Amino acid sequence: MASDQLPLYEGAPTPSQPADARDRGTGAPPASSPASTTGASRDLFEDSFTYFDDIHGAIKLNRLEGDVIQTPEFRRLFHLAQLGLVTLVYPTASHTRGMHSIAACHWAGKLVDCLNQNTQRLPSQFRFPRIQITRAERVLIRLAALLHDISQGPLSHDVERKTHYVYHGSTCIRIKSQYGLYEKHDDYQANPVLYILLMDTKRSVLARVLREYSRSFVDLLLGDVNSAPHLNGCGQLLV
């Protein structure tokens, strides 16, 4: 088994495992997987695994998030200091972008849950289903938080303005260059690094993992649509 396919935790599928190997109806792993032998037929998008953080304590993640974390593209973040050059004068400030991203995912989920709970406290005349954040939306929000630093490089925030600086006769170009090479650094259509990481399944293990879960996510999204009449129009677009 290749090093980039080693499970990070018991029961984790490898990135090369085809989507058809899963039960499409429930998202459960195949009968031969370690997760099934324990009798735990867990939903792919349920918070099923626990990671521990020095600051936030126990953090629950679902299988998609766990598989994203074990990819080499994400593991790289565990070698990047969150505080950049601060570690030169504060050696014990050793928090990494990897753990920062996991904590961001954790708190994004808590924020979604709190927002949904707050809507339940509204008087019935103001309680509309449209303001509820669906389960599929929660998955996307948490995943976005988990991957928000995926294209960061070493000391990125400390040196990015200097490395991006362009010496040009035009003042406008010089000023714009200080804010990055791309108008939107998080736009995968404009940033080739993000495109490779998120979309190029030939080069990126992360892209293959995201592709593997896409069918199960569509099933989850259709389930949300079927349980929410006001989203029926969206369901017709997906079918």
Q: Which of 1-5, 160-164, 224-228 has the highest mean predicted lDDT (pLDDT)?
A: 224-228
> Is 207 a domain residue?
yes
Specify the number of domains making up the chain: 1
Whether the pLDDT of residue 76 is over 50: the answer is yes
Nearest 5°: the CA angle 152, 109, 12 is: 75
Q: What CATH number is associated with residue 206?
A: 1.10.3210
- Predicted local distance difference test score (pLDDT) of residue 190: 62
pLDDT tens for residues 151-178?
887 776 666 555 555 555 677 666 665 5
Residue scoring higher pLDDT (49 or 23):
49
Q: What local confidence, expressed as pLDDT, does residue 7 receive?
A: 39
Within a domain: 200: yes
pLDDT of residue 229: 54
Helices 135-146 + 97-120 axis angle, to 10: 150
Residue 76 lies in a domain: yes
Q: Is residue 28 part of a domain?
A: no
pLDDT per residue as tens digits for the range 26-44: 333 333 333 332 223 247 8
DSSP assignment of 131-171 equals GSPPHHHHHHHHHHHHTTTTT--TTHHHHHHHHT----S-H
N- to C-terminal Cα distance for the chain?
37
Tens-digit pLDDT profile for residues 63-75? 999 999 999 999 9
Largest CA-CA distance found in the chain, in angstroms, rounded:
68
166 within some domain: no
Q: Domain of 85? A: 3-17+33-151+186-238
Q: Residue 25: inside a domain, yes or no?
A: no
103-154, pLDDT tens digit by residue?
999 999 999 999 888 877 777 766 666 667 888 899 999 999 999 999 887 7
**Whole-model pTM?**
0.68
Confidence of residue 9 (pLDDT cuts 50, 70, 90): very low
Supply the pLDDT for residue 178: 57
Residue 169 covered by a domain: no
The residue among 169 and 5 whose pLDDT is bigger is 169
Please say whether the beta carbons of 199 and 188 come within 8 A.
yes
Q: CB-side exposure of 45: number of CA atoms within 13 Å?
A: 26
Element (H, E) at 49: strand 49-53
Mean pLDDT score of the chain:
72
Q: Let me know if residue 165 belongs to a domain.
A: no
